[in-house]
């Protein structure tokens, strides 16, 4: 269970680091200059920010929960005691055995002479057995080799996991840099397209302005021509009216003369 939690802990850490690296500030990319500050996200504009934020929060919560679980399991786990951990106690036992042997030797000096040799031999045998036992316990090669191999295996697994985590972080960093470069290229392309569209719109506006000026000038010329034609028609109408008036006066005079002639004849 401890190993499973440790592996899950490392996976959550790697994914959390990747999500943090993928996130950007609001309007941090070049697309913000065109009014598209959210265009630098990977999954969209507003929804992508919520997705990355929620995912980061969930992974952070899992990170802390797994950390607490690993701490609790390690605290309640029975790690056992190795010979390397018991070196001090073994040395203390050896020193205590040596002191007791010395005391027994001192006490044995008070024994009768016929039992002194037997007491010294017994004390020496017990002391030799105690020293052999302490030395065997302190320097048991099989236990020491097992503990060293176990420690080396744990260290090797830890280094492998660290290397794997470093490789994953490097890969995520490379992917992030690639995405940033791609976003920068897309922003540059959009900027170029926008500039081209602006130039095209400016050219179209200039053409429309020229056409409008030409139409205005043509309308002004037509209005001038119509004004001249109207003035000419007015002048012609005035001339015709004067001619008609003269003809009317002439007819009136001829009628008067005829009427006078008729009256004179009568």
What pLDDT, on the 0 to 100 scale, is given for residue 105?
58
For residue 231, pLDDT over 70 is answered with yes
Report the half-sphere exposure of 77 (CA within 13 A, side-chain side): 10
Residue ranges of alpha helices (H) inside 77-140 are: 87-108, 113-138
Number of C-beta neighbours around residue 187 at 10 A: 19
* Mean pLDDT of the 100-107 span: 62
81 SS3 class: coil
DSSP annotation of 31 reads G
Q: Both tokens of residue 232?
A: 């000419």
Torsion angle of C-alpha atoms 249, 255, 257, 261, degrees rounded to 10: 180
Helix (H) or strand (E) run with residue 69 in it: helix 46-76
What's the mean pLDDT in 22-33?
Answer: 61
DSSP 44: -
Tell whether the model's pLDDT for residue 130 goes beyond 90. no
Neighbouring residues of 126: CB distance < 8 A, sequence distance ≥ 6: 101, 104
Please give the average per-residue pLDDT across 253-259, as a whole number: 83
Calculate what percentage of the chain has a pLDDT beyond 90.
36
Average pLDDT over residues 133-153: 58
Stretch 206-212: mean pLDDT, rounded?
93
227 pLDDT exceeds 90?
yes
Cβ-count burial 46-74 (b if 16+ within 10 Å, e if not): eebbeebeeebeebeebeeebeeebeeee
Asked if residues 74 and 63 have their Cβ atoms less than 8 Å apart, the reply is no
């Amino acid at each position: 269970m401890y190993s499973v939690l440790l592996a899950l802990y490392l996976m959550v850490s790697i994914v959390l680091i990747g999500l943090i690296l993928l996130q950007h500030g609001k309007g941090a990319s070049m697309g913000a200059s065109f009014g598209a500050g959210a265009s630098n996200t990977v999954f969209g504009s507003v929804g992508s920010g919520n997705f990355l934020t929620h995912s980061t929060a969930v992974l952070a919560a899992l990170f802390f929960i797994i950390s607490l679980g690993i701490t609790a399991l390690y605290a309640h786990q029975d790690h056992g005691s190795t010979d390397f951990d018991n070196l001090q106690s073994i040395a203390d036992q050896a020193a205590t055995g040596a002191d007791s042997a010395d005391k027994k030797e001192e006490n044995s000096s008070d024994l009768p002479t016929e039992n002194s040799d037997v007491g010294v031999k017994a004390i020496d045998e017990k002391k030799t057995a105690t020293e052999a036992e302490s030395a065997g316990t302190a320097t048991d090669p099989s236990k020491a080799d097992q503990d060293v191999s176990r420690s080396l295996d744990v260290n090797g697994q830890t280094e492998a996991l660290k290397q794997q985590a470093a490789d994953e972080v490097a890969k995520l960093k490379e992917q992030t840099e690639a995405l940033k470069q791609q976003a920068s290229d897309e922003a540059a392309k959009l900027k170029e397209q926008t500039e081209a569209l602006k130039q095209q719109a400016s050219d179209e506006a200039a053409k429309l302005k020229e056409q409008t000026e030409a139409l205005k000038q043509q309308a002004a010329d037509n209005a001038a021509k119509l004004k001249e034609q109207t003035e000419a028609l007015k002048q012609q109408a005035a001339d015709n009216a004067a001619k008609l008036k003269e003809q009317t006066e002439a007819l009136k005079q001829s009628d008067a003369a005829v009427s006078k002639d008729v009256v004179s004849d009568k």
